[in-house]
Amino acid sequence: MDLTPEEEEKYQRLYELGYYSTSPSYREAEKYKSKIKILQIDYDADFKTFTQQKDKQKIEKLKKKFKDENLKLTNRLIEHEKVLQEHVKSQMMKDKSSTMHISKMQLFMDTLKELEGEFKKAVLHQTLVRELVDEKRAFSREQANEYIRRMIREASIYESKPGFYNRV
């Protein structure tokens, strides 16, 4: 799933803010971040204590234990963050396709309104399709026909007489 630099920047901003935090991986990632912070605090406190006691054996055990635990938690955190990043990217793509659908729908309705004119005369099917495909260059013939069917189904337009359309 390739993103443009602008989309990548938006993704990074949303990800950092915890946007789309509906993913279970978000909660898991936050849990592991907290565990790593707690581990670091415990390590710092124990290290300070053992250093004051000058117990080199305990310091070495502590360092090894910290390194192992930190590595395990960090790996789990990375796994969950990868899943979360995919979730955020897929949500962004859904948002993007939804926005494209809305703008195409708006273009469709504006085109029909323009063709109807001031007196709301019925627009011939071929004229509407030609305008959407040739003039606006936003639709393929199949997409234009699909939008006409969809708009009729959604009762946004109606067929005033066979092969002629008007806005509701």
- pTM of structure: 0.44
Q: Which two tokens stand for residue 46?
A: 């124990």
Query: CB-based contacts of 86: which residues, under 8 Å, 6+ apart?
Result: none
Q: Which two tokens stand for residue 84?
A: 């979360």
Least confident segment among 32-41, 68-77, 97-106, 131-140: 97-106
Q: Which two tokens stand for residue 148?
A: 């006409």
Q: Is the pLDDT of residue 97 over 60?
A: no
| Edge-to-edge order in the sheet of strand 164-167 | 123-124, 164-167, 157-161
User: What does the pLDDT read at residue 122?
Assistant: 93
Question: Which one has a higher pLDDT value, 102 or 43?
Answer: 43
What CA–CA distance (Å, rounded) separates 160 from 22? 46
User: What does the pLDDT read at residue 91?
Assistant: 67
Q: Are 125 and 163 in contact (CB under 8 A)?
A: yes
C-beta atoms surrounding 137 within 10 Å: 8
CA 4 to chain centre: 13
What CA–CA distance (Å, rounded) separates 14 from 31? 19
What CA–CA distance (Å, rounded) separates 61 from 84? 34
What CA–CA distance (Å, rounded) separates 31 from 83? 15
